[in-house]
Structure formats: structure tokens, C-alpha cells
Amino acid sequence: MGIKPKEELYGLASSLPMLELQMAMIFITSQLLYLLFKRFHISKFTSHLFTGILIGILYHYWGLGEKAFSVNSQEVISTLGELGYGLFLFALGTTMDLGMIRRSGHKAVLTGVICMLVPLASGDVAERLFEKYFYSSEMRSSEDNHLELVTATHSITAFPVVVLLLQDLQLLNSEIGRLSQSATLICDVFSVCIQYFIGKSISKWKEDDKNYYIGLAIAYVISVAVIFRPIMLWIVRHTPENRPVKKSYLSALFLVVLVSGILSHNYGQAFHFGPFIFGLAVPAGRPLGSAVQEKFQLFISDVFLPIYVTINAIRADFWLIDYKDVVTKATVILMVFVFAVKILATMAAQLYLGMPLKDAFVLALILSCKGIVHLAAYTKFRDTGFVNDSAYAVMFSSVVVTSILVPIIVKHLYDPSRKYAGYERRDIMHLKPNAEFKILTCIHRSSNMPAVINLLDAACPSTENPINVYVLHLIELMGRVTPIFVSHQVQDKTDSHVSTYSANVILYFNQFMSENRGAVDLSVFTAISPPKFMQEEICTLAMDKVTSLIVLPFHRQWSIDGSSIESEDNTIRSVNFSVLEAAPCSVGILVDRGHLGQSTSVVSTPSTFSVAVVFLGGKDDREALAFAKRMAKDSTIRLTIIHLVAMGNEHGGGEWDKILDVEALKEFKYNHLGGGLVVYIEEMVKDGPETAFLLRSMVDEYDIIILGRRHNVESPQTVGLSQWSEFQELGTIGDLLASPDLDCKASILVMQQQRWIS
């Protein structure tokens, strides 16, 4: 006789306090372990694994928490964890861009195919040999032998695992990160087939039911693509620009996700199959994909996911490992064999494609790492009786070991900034007299454009001295995992939605190019990326285009008259710092305090344009002088060189830097460059306060002031100023001129010469 509905409700109510206790223990322990291991670059997923191991030890071996984590009490929280895993895959699916498969190059396709098929085929052969020579005849004839499916699962490279690993290592935007994501999407095409279809074909279904269930799964996938995908595209089209998606749409979407999980369970698939496929149909990015992320991602990743990982980890009892057991032996041997083959096959493919040995090994490790998808599969094998507790503990150990060791090894072997090291001169100073001047300008918002365009116009573009301008519009990534990089010169229809974000930028700079026809060559790009990875986009583009200068907007926005600060974005400041550290060429930070950005026209064309160069000495100041030298070729620009000399040090000495300074200033002292007006002023100062007083008295005379950053360079002219410096990215003098305490309307360009390796 079954339990009455009223008794069921009483049982559920009595389990609620225990559920709260379980969740509290898991959440608190996981957070404490993550904070403890964070300095060792241990990911949140690994801290969840250790949480389960710790609670499992307390429960299995010391008898603590027996009531809280007994087998019966785990059922409710396990159900909650399964729900959380399904929602996690749904949220992840909304961030995946399946168009990457179509756009993947031959390198990604070859890597993905070899990384999956070679270990799969090798593991299958090894499994058959092991079964033939080591299994007894009873085991070979047993219907419970599912080693073939388990071996195939070892060869899976899962997109969620790789993306979470790349996020933890901050390699999403690196060259290896992009290749890993593209190759993993190729692998996932095979993985889904193996995990959901091939697996079911050797499960305990009746023979007559196999085709029926597989047909239902295929029908579900088709219905999502044909029915629900157009509905969600309709929602995107009917959501006004820069407006949030209606809450009713999100509520309906969440309801359909839950129903899809129930249906997928009814037609023979796991609960999370339905939500994951449905998530793939949600258009990534704004407005729908980002809305899903904002509503669900935090709660899923910080509450549901720890529960799922921890409760599965508790089930691993390491005392039950029996190496005399033939299934455990087979699991260990085949697991190590498949992992080794996967590493070697991936490395061989990359070496064939010309990748360095160390980078090939790093890529192979990333694609061979195990994570939450493998843990879910292994747990399913244990729950369905495919493997025993001994084999499950061994497989769980492989997830723990790879999730710890792979990030540490990759972090040690691969430095993404290493590829930006300057082995050749890429600065303004060493450009040939009539060589094309290549500049990369970065735009975060529309207010950055007028100042940047007027600065470019002041650089005197002409047919004799052409300028090649690369404009990079940077947009914060929201609602998707995969960053987007679009060239608006070669884009296709799939990138049309990105063009709407950059329409104003394209229009503005095209007008600038048309007004300087024959003197300016323009290329516009859009990068949609997480802020902490934006420097990767900037430095990679600068390296690929062999630019001599990167122009970055300052993170503070002043009012039109330069009297007050309107906004401040520390995210932009962080990006500027990262670019200064890694840039493959010279960098200029543009502080717009009025004169450059106040013009309503695209190109500011005043009768005279006053430019000052503050020169103290050093490579950064010489780079500022080289940029000003180009400006002096324009007859409408009045250039003033303000040379601040330390008292008692008029003639420099024999130091090489000072000799270079004298040579750089020589032609400004004695020659008028081109048709422009050049004035050379030499001022004696004894210390920093005197320098500050002198500059305060001169700033109102100029439209733009150019100077070197001179970071960590001590000199008598700046003594006493560095301790008051607020913005290190501007240097001591630049920080003084950009201070809101200084009534200065002149815009400031702070130059840092390329850091190069001899």
C-alpha cells in the first residue's frame, strides 16, 4: 500500500530543516576552501570537489553528520543538485555561439576532430583487447559490462569544462584560448552523440525502445530549432534598443526550460539534456542572452552548482578502492591510456600545423582536462550500476587530479603576454621619414571620438606622410562566453547585429577619412570582450597590424569647459594599465580636458592650434618629441618645446640617455621644421614644486600638451611630486596636469615608448 499524499507532505516538511542544514554546510565549507585555495589558483569547481571530499571524510570515516548526510537525506538535495546542473547547462548554452563551428579555420577543425576521434578509437581498441585477455567469460557475456561507454567518456572534451578553465586562467582571449574554444565546439558535436545517443544504445532499454527514444530526442532538437528559436528571435526583434527584455518573457522562458527537462527525462534522456539544447537556441548576447545571465547565472553558479558538485563528491569513498577488482584495473589502465593518447594526438596535430612544442603541450593539457561534465557522467554510471564504487572513486580521483594539476602547469608554461614582447622597433622615433604612420585608436564610448579624431588630424596626415588608422570599438561582453571580434571591412551577414553597436563609430571615422582622402587609410573593428581581457584584443590587433602607436582614452570624462569631472570608469583605467604593461608598440593615453573634444565638427580646423611638449629627458620624452615633430609639419600648428633642465646640470654629462636627448633636441633648437612655427624654451628648475609652479603658469596657453610618462624615473625636476601622484599611468608630470585641482583646459597626451627586448 503506497504512502498517502498527506503523509508525503508531512515527510517533505520534516525534511526541510535537514535540507537547510545540508545547504548551509556545503555553501560555508565551499566558500572557506575557495578563499583558502585562491592564492594557489584553485578554481571554484575544485574547491567544491574538496568540499565534498571533506564532508565525505567526516561522514564516512569519522561518523560526523551521519543524520545530515545519510543515504536517505541525500535524496532531496541530490534532486536539487540535478535541477541546478540542468539550469547550469541551460545558462551555459545561452552563451555558446554555434556559429563558431562554421567560422572555425582548418586548424580548429583538425584539432577538434583528432582530439576526439583518435583517443576514442584507440580507447575502443584497448578496451576490446583488455576485455579479450583479462575478462572472464562470465563478464564478457554479462549485460552489465559497460566499459565501452565508460572508455568513450574518458575521451570527451567538453565545452563547459574548457571555458571554465580558460576563465580561471584568464586565457579566453589568448591565441590558445580561442583555438581551444573552437576545437572544443567541434569535439562537443561528437560528445553529445556519445553521451546521449550511443550511451543509450547499450543501456538497459529494450531493443524495441531504442529507435523510439532516439527518434524522440532528435524530434525534440528539431522542434527547438524550428519552433522555439524563431520565437526567441522574435522577442529580440521586438525588444527596443537599450531596453531590458520583459519579465513575462523571461518567466515563460524559465518555465519552458523546466518542462523541457521533464520531457527529456520521459523520452529516455537525462534531465539536463532538454535545458542544454534549449539554451543553445537562445540568441547569445544582448538583449535576451544577457538577461538570462543577469537573472540566473549568479544564483546557479554560487548556490546550485556547489550543491551538485559537492553531493556527487560525497559519494566517492576512497576506502572502497580495490585494485584487485578487474573493473577497477581496467578503469585505471584505460583512463591513463586514453589521457596519454589524447595528449600525444593533440600535440602531434599542433606540431604538424607549426605550433611551438611548449604551446602544443599547453593546448593538449587544456583539451584533456576533466571537469563537471565528466563528474556528471561518472556519477550517472555509478547510479545506474555501470561501474562499482571502487571504479567510481578512481574516476572521481582523475577529475580531482586534472582539475588541480592542469591549471598549475598551464599557468607555469604559458604566459599570454609573452607574444607581445618587442623583438623589433615599433615606435614613432624609429619610423623612416616618409613611412606610413600606423595608429591604433581605442573607443569605449561615443564621447571618446571627437578628441581622438582631432588628435589624428593634428598629426598632419598627407599624401607624403600618410596615416593608417585602425579603430577598435571596445564593448563589454554580457550574456555569452565566447568573445566576438569583428572586422567591419570583411564582415558577413552573421555579424550585422554587431554593426549596430558600432554604427556611430564607423560613420564618424568614415567622415574623417573622406575629409582626408588620399592621406588616411581607415579600418574599423569591434571587440565584444570581458573588460579584464580587453588588453588582449588591443595588443593582438596592434601586433598583427604592426602599429607604431596605441591611443587610449583616459578613464575620466571632463565637462565641455574642462571645469569638472562628469564620469569616471575604473574598468577603463584597469585596461589602460594592462596595455601599458604588455603593448608591442608605443602607447599614448589621451586626457581630454576640453579643447580637443569640444568641437562639434568631425575635424577641428582652427586658424592656429597650440601644442606644447614638456621635455625632461628619457626615452618616453623623446617619443613625445617624435610625435610632435610630425605635428610641426602642419603650418596651422604652433609648437612649443619646453625643456625643463635641473639646476646645475645644464650640459648633461656623458650618460648615453643624455646624449640621445641632446641629439633629439638639436634640430628643434636650430631649425624650423616644414612651414610650422616652432619655439624652443629652456627653463631652469631646482625641484618638483618649482616645476609645478612653472607649468601651472603656462597651461592655459596651449590646446594640447604632450609629454613622456617617465614611470619610475627619478629626476631633480620632479622631486617632491611623486608622493602626491594619484594616477601612475600618467607619470608624475602627467598626473599633475590631469589633476582636477589644476584649472587646465588643455588636453594631455602622455606617451610611453615601446618596451623592447634587445
| CA nearest to 459, candidates 479, 480, 476, 438 | 438
661 falls within a domain: yes
Q: Are residues 403 and 544 in the same domain?
A: no
The answer to whether residue 32 is domain-embedded is: no
Residues 582, 655: one domain?
yes
Lowest-confidence region among 22-31, 378-387, 560-569: 22-31
Q: Which residue has the higher pLDDT, 332 or 651?
A: 332
More confident residue, 58 or 425: 425
What is the distance between the alpha carbons of residues 735 and 591, in angstroms, rounded to a whole number?
10
- Please, what's the b/e burial string for 480-501 (b: 16 or more CB within 10 A of its CB; e: otherwise)? bbbbbbbebeeeeeebeebeeb
Q: Report d(CA 537, CA 411) in Å as an integer.
A: 20
pLDDT at 443: 92
pLDDT value of position 58 = 67
CATH number of the domain to which 737 belongs: 3.40.50.12370
- Co-location of 344 and 462 in the same domain: no
* pLDDT above 90 coverage of the chain, percent: 6
CA atoms within 13 A on the CB side of 407: 28
Q: Is residue 318 part of a domain?
A: no
Query: Do residues 643 and 665 touch, judged by C-beta distance below 8 A?
Result: yes
pLDDT band at 470 (very low <50, low <70, confident <90, very high): very high
453 and 367 in one domain?
A: no
List pLDDT tens digits, range 59-78: 665 555 444 455 555 666 77
Q: Report if residue 396 sits inside a domain.
A: yes
Q: What percent helix, strand, coil does the chain show, rounded to 5?
A: 60, 10, 30
Domain boundary among 414, 446, 473: 414
pLDDT band at 458 (very low <50, low <70, confident <90, very high): confident
Tell me: do 236 and 133 sit in the same domain. Answer: yes
In this structure, of 124-138, 170-184, 240-254, the range with the lowest mean pLDDT score is 124-138
Rounded distance between C-alpha atoms, residue 531 and residue 579, angstroms? 12
The mean-pLDDT minimum among 88-92, 142-146, 356-360 falls in: 142-146
Confidence of residue 372 (pLDDT cuts 50, 70, 90): confident
Range of the domain at 293: 89-305+323-414
* Residue 494: inside a domain: no
Cα separation, 277 vs 282, in Å, equals 9
* 54 three-state secondary structure: helix
Residue 293 vs residue 451, higher pLDDT: 451
Q: Measured between alpha carbons, how far is residue 294 from residues 225, 710, 726 in Å?
A: 24, 42, 34
511-515, 571-575, 748-752: segment of lowest average pLDDT:
511-515
Distance of CA 332 to the CA centre of its chain: 35
Clarify whether residues 530 and 620 are in a common domain.
yes
Mean pLDDT of 279-302: 74
466 shares a domain with 404: no
Quickly state the pLDDT bin for 665 (edges 50, 70, 90): confident
Q: Is the pLDDT of residue 352 over 80?
A: yes
Determine which of 44-48, 431-435, 590-594, 600-604 has the lowest per-residue pLDDT on average: 600-604
Flag whether pLDDT at 552 surpasses 90. yes
What pLDDT does residue 596 have? 65
Distances in whole angstroms, Cα of residue 155 to Cα of each of 148, 351, 662:
11, 21, 65
pLDDT reading at 311 higher than 80: no
Q: Evaluate whether 400 touches 34 at the Cβ level (below 8 Å).
A: no
Is the model's pLDDT at 315 over the cut of 80? no
pLDDT given for residue 590 in this prediction: 92
For residues 422-435, one letter each, b for 16 or more C-beta atoms within 10 angstroms of the residue's C-beta and e for the rest, the string is beeebbbbbbeeee
The answer as to whether 605 is a domain residue is yes
Clarify whether residues 474 and 396 are in a common domain: no
Residue 495: pLDDT band with limits 50, 70, 90: very low
Higher pLDDT, 186 or 43: 186
Cα gap 32→24, rounded to integer Å: 12
Residue 1 confidence (pLDDT):
39
The type of residue at 41 is H
Beta bridge partners of 638: 610, 677
Whether 358 and 269 map to the same domain: the answer is yes
| Cis peptide upstream of residue 433 (ω within 30 degrees of 0) | no
Q: Poorest-confidence range of 100-114, 344-358, 516-530?
A: 100-114
- The mean pLDDT value of the chain amounts to 76
Using DSSP, state whether 373 is helix, strand or coil.
Answer: helix
Q: Mind listing the pLDDT tens digit for each residue in 675-704?
A: 557 888 888 888 888 888 888 888 778 888
Per-residue pLDDT band at 500 (split at 50, 70, 90): low
- Maximum mean pLDDT: which of 90-94, 121-125, 486-490: 121-125
Q: Which three cell numbers stand for residue 106?
A: 582548418
In a domain, 11, yes or no: no
One-letter amino acid for residue 438 of the chain = K
**Which of 30-44, 506-520, 522-536, 673-687 shows the lowest mean pLDDT across its residues?**
30-44
pLDDT at 135 over 80: no
Same domain, 408 and 371: yes
- The CB density around residue 302, as the number of other CB atoms within 10 Å, is 13
The span from the CA of 740 to the CA of 749, in Å, is 16
Looking at the predicted structure, is the pLDDT value of residue 286 above 60? Answer: yes
Domain count, the chain: 2
- The stretch 185-211 carries a mean pLDDT of 57
What is the mean pLDDT of the segment spanning 548-575?
82
Evaluate whether residue 10 is within a structural domain.
no
The answer to whether residue 79 scores a pLDDT higher than 70 is yes
Cell of 269: 534522456
Q: Is residue 587 domain-shared with residue 624, that is, in the same domain?
A: yes
Cell numbers for 83 = 535541477
Closest CA to 477 of 526, 441, 524, 531: 531
Give the C-alpha separation, 83 to 257, whole Å. Answer: 11
pLDDT computed for residue 146 by the predictor: 63
**Residue 672: what pLDDT?**
53
Segment 298-308 shows an average pLDDT of: 75
Same domain? For 461 and 340 the reply is no
For residue 309, give the C-alpha cell. Answer: 558538485
Q: What is the pLDDT of residue 440?
A: 93
Check if the beta carbon of residue 624 is closer than 8 Å to that of residue 613: yes
| pLDDT for 607 | 58
Report residue 589's pLDDT band, with 50, 70 and 90 as the boundaries. Answer: very high
Whether the predicted pLDDT of 650 surpasses 60 = no
Alpha helices in 315-464 (DSSP H): 326-352, 357-368, 372-383, 389-413, 449-458
- Answer whether residue 14 shows pLDDT above 60: no
pLDDT (tens digit, 9 = 90+) per residue, 166-191?
Answer: 888 878 767 788 788 888 888 876 66
Which residues lie below 8 Å from residue 220, measured CB to CB, with a gap of 6+?
A: 260, 263, 264, 267, 274, 277
Residue 143 confidence class, pLDDT cut points 50, 70, 90 = very low
What pLDDT band is residue 489 in, cutting at 50, 70 and 90? low
Above 50 in pLDDT, residue 276?
yes
Which range is most confident: 189-198, 261-270, 508-517, 574-583? Answer: 574-583
pLDDT at 421: 61
Q: Which domain CATH number covers 125?
A: 1.20.1530.20
pLDDT class of 471 with cuts at 50, 70, 90: very high
Place of cell 599570454: 416
pLDDT value at residue 678: 82
CB 738 within 8 Å of CB 645: no
